Amino acid sequence: MTSGPRVHTTSGAVVGTDLGAVHAFRGIPYAADPVGALRFGPPQPHPGWRGRLTAQRSGPAVPQSASRLEAVMGSRDGTPMSEAGSLTLNVWAPAAAVSDSRKRPILVWLHGGGFTSGSAGWDWYDGARLAEAGDIVVVTANYRLHALGFLWFPEIGADNLGLQDQAAALRWVHGNIAAFGGDRERLTIGGQSAGAYSALALSCDPATQHLGRRIMLQSTPFGIRPADPSVARRTTTTLLKLLGLPPDERAAPMLRSVPVDELLSAYGELTAIGPSGQVAPPMYPVRDGAGMHFAWHAAAARALRKDVLVGRTAHESTAFLAGGGTPLPDGAPDGPRWRAATAAVFGDGLDAFTGALTAAGGSPHEYCFDRINPERPDLGATHCADLPFVFDNLDAYAGAPMLGRVRGADRALAVSWSTAVGDFVRTGHVQFR
């Protein structure tokens, strides 16, 4: 399929899909394939293409194992995965924005998944309805995950590579989004869970903080501080041992050629070594590494001069112990154990963050999402439960235990939520209708 809306980027022309009120451009490369000599190295510019790129299908997901949150979100079996072609982004723009002279605000949104799983190309995060509801341009981007993105081995170039990928995507947006009808001076950086953690990093790091005017943080795990470099180093050493590789620079060429399935298997073993129920993954952004040159949450808030929308679900913690489909015990989701777990990772840090913002003269918009699937009251409003509503993509989550059967009130809530997000991206204010 080659007919459709056409846009010219710095890498070449792209042909998207006409969805009526919205045009979609999927699977646009923003960096060179991170393979061969570029594996475990910083993202490099894409060489571009001749002719027109058919941007009508999302790029492959970064190779990954099944998410530990499948028990609440549902499975993504059958997802195409490949390191080659994985550093891509997707753009949804109001149809008029591609042709008229009025530039629309932009939301660059980063998926969650504990820095270990997820893909911007999944229909869960399709931005068409959100773009239409808000009259905004929506962008989602892949970034490297698990060891591919967060192995701490600066001597060979492995330095918070996932964050560097996100920064590269953001710079691509700044350089190209006008062609899609976007106004880069009115850009919101947003995300959920690990994506929110990343959005905060991008909004605070001196190298990228000027690229966004607003920030939208969903279920940020404020209680997980950036990894200590010495701890990250030991984790890297353990992974190298599991792979049978030397614990120094001699491992570099072997790391760049080890089959990705072996890498994922070793990462799974690394995960299994950690404590049961631990929220932090084995590898995630490291303090003082690329993209993490700032003090964490409350201190960052005092220096954050942006419009802020921040919030969480009412019962975040139940998602992390909901495996097997068995109803959760011990008074979930409102028992003291669950409230304490949610507060420790999500709630207390959020309160400190918004308190610091307010003390610094800011006026953050704060929310708590509390819609519960009546068929699974033990889950409560668990981690990720707000995602179907933010994107108004309820049907994409069919069968997800956190959602359950969709009723008319749910569809109305999804319209209200996506419209409110659009309001924030446009104006910096939130109003539920």
3-state secondary structure of 278: coil
Angle between helices 161-176 and 194-204 (to 10 degrees): 70
pLDDT at 194: 98
3-state secondary structure of 362: coil
Q: Return the structure tokens found at 160.
A: 């918070």
Q: What span, in angstroms and rounded, lies between the C-alpha atoms of 232 and 123?
A: 33
Q: CA distances (Å), 299 to each of 189, 205, 218, 302, 303, in order?
A: 19, 13, 19, 5, 7
Pick from 227, 219, 200: nearest CA to 303: 200
Report residues of the chain scoring pLDDT below 50: 1
Residue of 23, 146, 365, 383 marked catalytic: 383
Q: Is 262 a catalytic residue?
A: no
pLDDT at 276: 62
Residue recorded with tokens 């800011």: 362
pLDDT at 60: 97
Please report, for the chain, the start and end positions of each structural domain, with discontinuous segments joined by +: 6-227+285-427, 229-273
Q: Is the dihedral of CA 205, 228, 311, 407 positive or negative?
A: positive
Cβ contacts of 253 within 8 Å, gap of 6 or more: none
Q: CA distances (Å), 208 to each of 9, 84, 110, 203, 395, in order?
A: 21, 26, 15, 6, 35
Q: What span, in angstroms and rounded, lies between the C-alpha atoms of 304 and 1?
A: 45
Q: What span, in angstroms and rounded, lies between the C-alpha atoms of 249 and 392?
A: 47
**CB 310, CB 217: distance < 8 Å:** yes
Query: Within a 10 A sphere around the Cβ of 110, how many other Cβ atoms?
Result: 29
Give pLDDT tens digits for 355-400.
999 998 899 999 999 999 999 999 999 999 999 999 999 999 999 9
Q: Is 174 a catalytic residue?
A: no
Residue of 316, 317, 365, 418 marked catalytic: 316
User: Rounded to the nearest 5°, which phi and psi values hold at 85?
Assistant: 80, 5
Which CATH class name applies to 6-227+285-427? alpha beta
Q: Is 315 a catalytic residue?
A: no
Residue of 58, 117, 119, 193 marked catalytic: 193
Give pLDDT tens digits for 151-186.
999 999 999 999 999 999 999 999 999 999 999 999
pLDDT at 1: 46
pLDDT at 79: 86
